[in-house]
A and B are shown apart, each in its own frame.
Chain A
């Protein structure tokens, strides 16, 4: 089965620093894939190559079985949800409008927008009365949940998550994880998630890709990665156990 996302002999540099050289990676549709590695290993760049925010120096990135287009990016990106650490919520818009802006731009009806917003907010355990608040009036955890709702509004085929659950306390995080799994249960979306936290990947992902210094160390189902004898993978788990 061909992947919904493929990197073929990808090379990408920033200035003098080569982040990836001849990387090959295939991501399967319909499941959640966790890209795990230390900060600076290039995992965020991989996400931005998928939706065309970054372009490869050499090699190719295929999304939906085709190279990432050079034109028509607006329609292309609306099939790909995106949520990041720090959320990037629109500070001048209410929570409801943050979540539903893309629906508005797509010309959805008011009732359709209200229904979808309500459903997403309830799945992510966001109280309805938060709708009219501004982002700065929310807690960090609430902001992250709003970010997820916004990314999922148009029922995208792919959801890209760039460390979206970091920076909140462990209990809140556990809650968000639970809500996110519930949300994924009700939507059929391919999720690519970047995290430095192996335990988070284990909880949320079906497959894990371990990246180190721009190269893939291991790739496979969660259970297989957990049993891996690779020293680096063991260390990533170790850091989880001790933290």
Chain B
């Protein structure tokens, strides 16, 4: 029986299963959306909506977002930070869907990754194209974080290097470039052509390139012009005297319907940061290990953009409490919905081995999609933020719940099934009084697995802007900051443990003791 149950060969009626399953799943989705919507509107109605500032998950983006947030707070706006979004597309979708109101972006990135254009556009042209997408690029911050060509300070002074053109006369120099830079048209191939460089290049991991430079294994490498590591290792950036590299001018990108007051407040940052300043600030985070809030504060103070050293950035405990609550909300909604759908599906199909196999097959298939991929797949379907995260967690929770319920139901003693029928219990009474109570230990175990796994998986949801305990983990990963990672990992582990305990208590309450610890159940 059980071999038939899991055999994909038997799934000849799969289309019907799927259709029925899809319908149930669809209504569950609607329920989840409704609950999420209610949560959303509840928070929206009980307070004036705060301005949500987002960032991508690298140092400079976090830092700029923090500056934007502090400038707004200084001017009396309430700000919520939604940092660490897992990439340009995620951040842009979050902006479009209203999950965030503004985040720092770069002109080159907008042109290439969002608008998919080749060639450069000035801000007016960019904004003309962004307007239909509901976004507006605010005045630029000043610096240009583009590709740069870097050499050690020593090499620069020995050879008198200042401009990229100077390299043309030095064929003996060894070039080591990151793989991406060697492949991109706006990287090495174009550069070599424009400057008529005689050298060849070798490929090297970007993370190792600076060390190779310092060790003298290579003489020249590619870098980002505002990288804090340039200061850390005392590297020199050569001037792009022929203007080859496209501009990656940083500016706040905002929703075009954002309040004019807010846009005006953000404009205080216009032109305040040149390459050198940005590089220094990045280095303060990376090298001196100060927090984003501290670095942003001291810069804004020096610029006269804020007046006190007190930041209104949330305290550790505020952040912890908010992240934990969000995390709980994500997993609780997902697991509850999976209980309803998973148990419902199991009850519908368990009498038919073919249908059971179909349901478990589909649920198993969902389980094999790596969590980060499933989250990414959710973006085009459900956007970014909490809804797609909840849907993904829901899909993951289906299998353990459905599988355990089906297994428990089909392994009920055949004699008991016969007697239950013979005594004259209706199908509903059989389920209610006999099958479900007997299957309960198994079902609870399934829900327990789903809950614990969801709590773990939900940490990844921060990549698509769902918040939760993954937020400090993502930031910590970007900064290589173990302390920050633990701010997410420890509470997540404690949550998982609490879930285990909760289910132990539930099991003790709901299941007679002699049915709990039967071996093999």
Give chain A's interface residues, CB within 8 Å of chain B. 48, 51, 53, 73-78, 80, 82, 84, 86, 88, 90-92, 101-102, 105, 134, 136, 150-151, 160
Contact = CB atoms under 8 A, between A and B. Distances in A.
Interface string B417-456: 0111111111001000110011000000000000000000
A84 B415 contact: yes
A78 B421 CA distance: 10
B314 interface: no
B418 A53 contact: yes
Contacts of A151: 423
B433 A82 contact: no
Nearest to B419: A88
A134 B512 CA distance: 9
B422 A150 contact: no
A151 B423 CA distance: 7
B434 A90 contact: yes
B318 interface: no
Given A105-B429, A136-B514, A78 B424 contact: yes
B514 A75 contact: no
10 contacts: A77-B421, A77-B422, A78-B423, A84-B418, A91-B416, A91-B514, A92-B512, A102-B423, A134-B512, A150-B423
A74 B413 CA distance: 21
B423 A82 contact: yes
B409 to A, nearest CB: 14
Contacts of B433: 90, 101, 105
Contacts of B426: 74
B425 A74 contact: yes
B425 A53 contact: no
A53 B421 contact: yes
Nearest to A78: B424
B515 interface: yes
Contacts of A101: 423, 433
A105 B431 CA distance: 13
Contacts of B415: 84, 86, 88
A77 B418 contact: no
B519 to A, nearest CB: 14
B419 A82 contact: yes
Contacts of B413: 88
A110 B413 CA distance: 30
A82 B425 contact: no
B515 A91 contact: yes
Given A53-B418, A84-B415, A136-B514, A92 B424 contact: no
Nearest to A88: B419
Given A88-B413, A105-B429, A77 B514 contact: no
B509 to A, nearest CB: 14
Nearest to A136: B514
Given A53-B418, A88-B415, A92-B438, A77 B512 contact: no
Contacts of A88: 413, 415-416, 418-420
Most buried by A among B416, B423, B433: B423
Q: Which of A77, A88, A151 has the most CB of B within 10 A?
A: A88
A92 B421 contact: no
A92 B408 CA distance: 14
B218 to A, nearest CB: 73
Contacts of B422: 48, 51, 53, 77, 80, 82, 160
Contact of A90 (B416, B424, B514): B416
Interface in B368-427: 413, 415-416, 418-426
B181 to A, nearest CB: 67
A46 B297 CA distance: 88
Contact of A92 (B418, B419, B429, B515): B515
A90 to B, nearest CB: 6
Given A91-B514, A102-B424, A134-B514, 17 more contacts: A53-B422, A74-B425, A75-B424, A78-B424, A82-B423, A84-B418, A86-B415, A88-B415, A88-B418, A88-B420, A91-B438, A91-B515, A92-B438, A101-B433, A102-B423, A105-B433, A151-B423
A106 B425 CA distance: 10
B412 to A, nearest CB: 10
Contacts of A75: 424
Given A91-B438, A92-B437, A105 B425 contact: yes
Contacts of A86: 415
Complex A-B, nearest 9 residue pairs according to Cβ-Cβ distance, in ascending order: A77-B424, A88-B419, A78-B424, A82-B422, A88-B415, A74-B426, A92-B437, A88-B416, A74-B424
Nearest to A104: B433
A78 B425 CA distance: 8
A73 B424 contact: yes
A175 B376 CA distance: 71
A210 B429 CA distance: 37
A241 B445 CA distance: 54
Nearest to A73: B424
Nearest to B427: A74
